[in-house]
Structure 1
């Protein structure tokens, strides 16, 4: 028996081929995004994602715990990254006026400028390495496959709506 209660089975040859291609392609895309952002904007992809998530919040600030959850990183790893971004002047931490135990990561004007400067290269890298390689039908299939995976892996998340409003 497998952990899901169903009888154990091996991947078929086609499933194995698809699984390995997916793993290698997604890893290589992440590596390429990180290389491009380091080279052109002097920041790792993780920092770009933090800035992007904050920029999508209507108030420019998100609870640190929520940001860690959305980005799927530990609180300590997020805290380290936020400290680096604070040092660059790209964000600040604000305490919740009603609950001092809660803090928010808030995008600064300099952080927004850094994100705006980095975005064209980042988006071009995504387009060049992913979307220009797919037909319109394949883009829709990619969405459908990803959305289906999220239904199983993260049923409370809505594809395309990763971050809920901050405060």
Structure 2
């Protein structure tokens, strides 16, 4: 790139603040989840995605898409969670190659126990630090960025959908 568009001071401060938040916030949320419930953020996200479906199950490809995990990484994740008794795999009756991840009773109990504290942590460490207007602006900005990133090849979402 011959003439880079260098960041202005406000852009540089915003970018570096964003990087710091991306390092600190997930680590603190995960520390709290792990301390209270033995979960990491990916465990929690998988349980949330499954718990928000009508039957408590999703096809593995859809779960990979929703969690932005590659099929391989999701398979290892589900394997660990199966050993812990939180999820089970079910074969897809209409597609021999397909499989479902299903939340178990133990998984339901754990997500019900973990969710209130996690939401309180998200409020304490993120939402309540901003005014309602700032929350709306940040949400709108992050939505724009997320949409753009979902459209780019090489993202976790795109990789998750590849056959």
Give the TM-score range, shorter chain: 0.7 to 0.9
Counterpart of 1:99 in structure 2 is 95
Alignment of 1:74-93 (within 5 A): 74-93=70-89
**Match of 2:158?**
none
- Deviation of 1:8 after TM superposition, in Å, equals 3.2
- Is 1:56–2:32 an aligned residue pair? no
Q: What is the aligned length?
A: 152
Counterpart of 1:34 (choices 30, 36, 39) is: 30
Alpha-carbon deviation of 1:26?
2.3
**1:22 pairs with 18, 21, 33, which one?**
18
The Cα of 1:105 is off from its aligned counterpart by 0.4
Q: Distance in 1 between matches of 2:150 and 2:77?
A: 25
Residue 51 of structure 1 and its aligned partner are, at CA, apart by: 0.3
TM-score (norm 1): 0.85
CA deviation after TM superposition for structure 1 residue 95, in Å: 0.6
Distance in 1 between residues matched to 2:37 and 2:81, nearest whole Å: 13
Q: For residues 101 and 90 of structure 1, what CA distance do their matches in structure 2 show?
A: 23
Aligned to 2:154: none
RMSD of aligned Cα (Å): 1.7
* Larger helix share, 1 or 2: 2
Q: Which runs of 5+ in 1 are unaligned?
A: 156-167
What does 1:1-167 correspond to in 2, within 5 Å?
1=1, 8-154=4-150
